[in-house]
Structure 1
Amino acid sequence: MFSRDRWQEIFDTIKKNKLRTFLSGFTVTLGILIFTVLFGMGNGLKNAFMEFFMDDATNTFFIFPGRTTEPYRGFKQGRRIQFRNDDVEDIKKDFAYFLDYISPNIQRRGMVKYQGESNTYSVGGVGPSYRLNEKTIMMKGRYLNQHDIDNRTKVAVIGRLVERDLFGKDANAIGEYIVFNNVAYKVVGVFQDDGGDNEERVLYVPYTTLQLVEKNNDEISRIVLGYDTSIGHAGAMAFERSLTEYLKDKHNIAPEDRSGIFIRNLADIVQQNMMFANVIQMVVLLVGIGTLIAGVIGISNIMVFVVKERTKELGVRKALGATPWSVIGLVLQESVFITAIAGYIGLVIGILILRSMGDSLEDYFIVNPSVGVGTLVGATVILIFFGALAGYIPARRAARIKPIVALRDE
C-alpha cells in the first residue's frame, strides 16, 4: 500500500492512459455529484416543511364552528354554530388534564390609523396564552395579560412591520394610540415573528374588548388550544375525538354530521406532511444511489478492460515471481485511488452547487439545500468500498491466469 515503486507505477499508468483514467473518474464524479445534489435538495424540501410548520406550536388544535347538514334533537339542518366564551370555560374545566393552554380567537380585518398614516391589517381578539401558539417574540413592551381580559382594556400589541408602516422606521410606538373601527387602542407592545412579513403585519387586542365594542356580545370565531405534549400523537388523536364528541353534544350536532364542527389538528397535519417529505427524500435517495451504483459499474467495466489490456504484463510479473496478491493489490490500489479522487471531486462540486442555490428555490419549496457531514463521510466510504470491489473482481480473475497463458495473449 505504501510502496513508493507501486505508486510510481500507478501514476505512470495514469499518464499513459489519460483518456481511460478520465472516463473512469468521470463516471464516479458524475455519480457522486448527482447523489450529493439530489440528497441535498431532498433535505431542502424537508427544511421547507419544517420552516412552514414549525414557526407556530405544533401541539395545537384549531376549532372552527360550521353549519349543520343534518337535523338533530328538533333542530333543522343548515343551522350555523356559534362558539361563545362559555365553550372555552367548559373545555378548560372538562379537559384540564389534556390542556397546556387555550385561547379564544376573534378574527377581524380592517383599516388601522395613526395620525395621517393608515393601512389595512388583520386584527385578532385573543387571550394571553395565544402567544404560546404563535411563538411571538416581544421586541418592546409587553404582551396582553389577564388584567386586560378581565377589565376589557383598550390596548393593542402590534407587529414589527405595523410599527414601521404607521410610525416610521426608527419610531417607538409604545404608549401611542392607534384607531381601529373608530376605537382608540393604546400600543403596549411590539412583537416579531419568524413566520415572515405576513405574521408581522398583525395586531392583537383583548378578545373581551373586541366583544365589548361589537355590541357587547360573547361570540368568538374559533378556539385555539395546545395540548400537553406528554400524551403523544396517539393521545392527541384520542383527545381530538373526545373533544369533537363533546362539542357536538353541547351544540346539538348529530354525531355523524361532519360539517358542524371542524378541528384542525396541527400535529397530525405536520406528521402527515413530514412523512410525505420523508418518502420524497427516500425516492430521491434511491435515485441518487442508483446513479452512484451506475458510476461504480462504469469504473468496474473500465477496470475489466484495463486488466484485459495488461494481461501480458501481468503474466510477465507472475513469471518473474509476483504473487497473486501483489497482482490484485496493484489493480485494486489503482481502482481505489481513481475512485477516491474522482469521488472527492464530485462531492466538492456537488456542495458548491448546493451552496450556490442558497434560497433561490424557495418558490419550489426547497429551502437551504445541504448535505450533512455524516452523510458525506458515509457516501465517501461506500464509494471507496465499491471502487475497491470494482477493481478486485477483474484483478482476482487476472491473478488466476497462468503465466504461460498470459504471455500468449495478443
Structure 2
Amino acid sequence: MHLWLFLRQIFRDMRSQKLRTLLTIFGIVWGTTAVILLLAFGQGLYRSQVKAMHGLGEYIVIMWGGKTAKTFQGLPKGRRIGLREEDTELLRSQIKQIAYISPERTRWNAAVSYGKKVFVVQVVGTNPEFALLRSIVADRGGRFINHLDMENKERAIFLGNDLKEDLFGEEEAIGEIVLVDRVPFTIVGVLKEKPQDSSYSGRDENKGFIPYTTYASMYPAKYLNNMVFKAESPHLTEYVKKRAYEVLGKKYKFDPEDDEALSMWDTSEMEAFFNAFFGGFQLFLGILGALTLIVGGIGVSNIMNVVVEERTREIGIKMALGAKKRFVLLQFIFETLVITFIGGGIGFIISYGIIQVFPVFKAEEYVGTPEISVTVAVAVTCLLGLIGLFSGFFPARRAANLNPVEALRP
C-alpha cells in the first residue's frame, strides 16, 4: 500500500511541476547517454583494434637470425646466425610446448602474371601451419597449401584477396593458372578479407603463398628469412622462447643469454601493452561519463531541496498525524530514485538507438562497432542507483528532521 501511495504522490508532483521535472530528468538523461556512449564507443574501438592486431596472428612469435654480441667457447662475438629450414623440425622435436611452427622465405620482387596483367609482389614459401599461425582463412571454395602440396612440390599458390582482385577483378580465380616468374601455378585458394594493422613484411592481402618445398626448388638459398611459432598456451610463450635460445645456441654455438644472437618479436607483449593502454583509456572515458552523470545528480539533489521547501507544510501535517521520520525519509529517497531511473531509462533507450543507427554512417572501419556490454549496463545501473540515493538522502533527511510545529507555522 505504501508503494502505491508513494507512486501516486510522485507522479502527482511531477505533473504539477512539468517543466522542473523535465529539466531534472534531462540532466540524468544527458549524463546516462554520455557515459553509455563513451564506454560503448570505447569498447567498440578496443574490439576493432584487437581484431586488426590479431590479423597478424594471436600470441605468435616471429624469429630472425641475428649477430652474436658475446664471445662463447673461444668463438668471437659478431658472428652471423642464420636460421635454416631444418631448424623448424629441430625446435619442434626439442620443445614439446610448441603448438605450431613454420619456416618462411620471401621473394620480394616476384612477377605474378595472368594474361596481360603483371604485378611485382611478394611470394612467400611456407608450410600449412602458417595459416594457423597468421590468421589466414581461405575464402569460399578454396584452401591454403597442404601437406600433399609440400610432399609433391606442387605448383600451387594461395593468393591474397587484393592480389586476386588486381589479377581477376570479380571473376572466379580458383583453378586458374598464373605465372610466378614465368613458372605456371594453379590457384588453390584466395584469402578471406581480414583486418590487419601490423606486419613484419607487408600485408597478407597483397602476397602469394606457395609450398616451401616448391619455393626452395625455384629459389635455392641457405637461410630462411624468418620462422614463426606459437606456444600451446600464452603463458608458456616465455618458456618456449628461452628454450629456443638454448636449443639453437647449442647448435650454432652461441651463449643462450645472448639476446642479440636471435631477434624475436613476441606479439603477446604488444597485446599486453595494448590491453593496459585501452584499459586506462576505458577508465578515463568511464570517469568522464560518470562525472557528467554526477552533475545531473547534483541537479536532482538541488531540485529535491526545493521540493522539500515547497512541501514543508504537507510534511508537517503528515508528521502531526503520526507519520514516522522513516516514512518521510523513504518517501523522498524513493521519489529521487524514481526520477533518476526514469532519466536513466530514457538515456539507455537513446544510447541504444544511436548505436543501432550508427552503422548507417559507415564509420566502423575507423572507430569500430560500438556495443553496450553487460558490464557497462550493470555499472551504469549501479551508478544511477548510488546517485539517486545520495541525491535524495540529504533532502530526505532534512524533510524527516522537520519539527511538525515549525512546519505548520504560517
TM-score (norm 2): 0.86
Is the Cα–Cα contact under 8 Å of residues 64 and 221 in structure 1 kept in the other structure? yes
Is the Cα–Cα contact under 8 Å of residues 135 and 193 in structure 1 kept in the other structure? no
1:28-55 Cα shifts (integer Å, max 9, x gaps): 2222122112211221232023212333
Match in the other structure for 1:52: 52
Tell me which stretches of 4 or more aligned residues in structure 1 moved more than 6 Å: none
Match in the other structure for 1:221: 225
Change in 2 beyond 3 A, CA 1:90/1:43? same
TM-score (norm 1): 0.86
Is the Cα–Cα contact under 8 Å of residues 58 and 135 in structure 2 kept in the other structure? no
Change in 2 beyond 3 A, CA 1:319/1:92? closer
Give the Cα separation in 2 of the matches to 1:142 and 1:337: 59
Q: 1:160-175 counterparts in 2 under 5 A?
A: 160-174=161-175
1:181-223 Cα shifts (integer Å, max 9, x gaps): 2322222333424336943332111122222222x33421111
Deviation at 1:360, TM superposition (A): 2.0
Residue of structure 1 aligned with 2:363, choices 349, 360, 363: 360
- 2:391 alignment partner AA: A
Give the Cα separation in 2 of the matches to 1:377 and 1:228: 35
Matched, 1:208 2:216: no
Give the Cα separation in 1 of the matches to 2:221 and 2:48: 41
> What SS does the aligned partner of 1:219 have?
coil
1:310-345 Cα shifts (integer Å, max 9, x gaps): 223321332344443443344233212211111112
Report how many residues are paired. 401
Deviation at 1:249, TM superposition (A): 4.3
1:70-126 Cα shifts (integer Å, max 9, x gaps): 56556665544321122222212222x112221110122333101112223331110
Deviation at 1:385, TM superposition (A): 4.7
> What SS does the aligned partner of 1:279 have?
helix
Match in the other structure for 2:200: none
Is the Cα–Cα contact under 8 Å of residues 56 and 196 in structure 2 kept in the other structure? no
- 1:34 alignment partner AA: A
Q: 1:328-407 counterparts in 2 under 5 A?
A: 328-358=329-359, 360=363, 362-363=365-366, 366-373=367-374, 375-407=376-408
Match in the other structure for 1:13: 13
> What SS does the aligned partner of 2:113 have?
strand
Change in 2 beyond 3 A, CA 1:98/1:274? same
User: What stretches of structure 1 of length at least 5 have no aligned partner?
Assistant: none
- 2:363 alignment partner AA: S
Deviation at 1:280, TM superposition (A): 2.2
Match in the other structure for 1:108: 107
Deviation at 1:158, TM superposition (A): 1.8
- 2:405 alignment partner AA: I
Match in the other structure for 1:118: 118
Match in the other structure for 1:289: 290
* Sequence identity (%): 29
- 1:274 alignment partner AA: N
Match in the other structure for 2:185: 185
> What SS does the aligned partner of 1:272 have?
helix
Give the Cα separation in 2 of the matches to 1:405 and 1:89: 92
- 1:109 alignment partner AA: W
Give the Cα separation in 2 of the matches to 1:92 and 1:324: 76
Deviation at 1:263, TM superposition (A): 1.3
Give the Cα separation in 1 of the matches to 2:151 and 2:222: 13
Change in 2 beyond 3 A, CA 1:3/1:171? closer
Change in 2 beyond 3 A, CA 1:8/1:144? closer
> What SS does the aligned partner of 1:144 have?
coil
Is the Cα–Cα contact under 8 Å of residues 70 and 77 in structure 1 kept in the other structure? yes
User: What stretches of structure 2 of length at least 5 have no aligned partner?
Assistant: 198-202
Give the Cα separation in 2 of the matches to 1:54 and 1:142: 20
Q: 1:188-337 counterparts in 2 under 5 A?
A: 188-195=188-195, 198-214=203-219, 216-229=220-233, 232-233=234-235, 235-255=236-256, 257-337=258-338
Give the Cα separation in 1 of the matches to 2:3 and 2:78: 87
- 2:204 alignment partner AA: E
1:149-183 Cα shifts (integer Å, max 9, x gaps): 23433221223443332134133431x32122232
Give the Cα separation in 2 of the matches to 1:172 and 1:81: 40
1:226-261 Cα shifts (integer Å, max 9, x gaps): 2212xx51x221221221233244334455543331
Deviation at 1:127, TM superposition (A): 0.9
RMSD of aligned residue pairs (Cα, Å): 2.9
> What SS does the aligned partner of 1:220 have?
coil
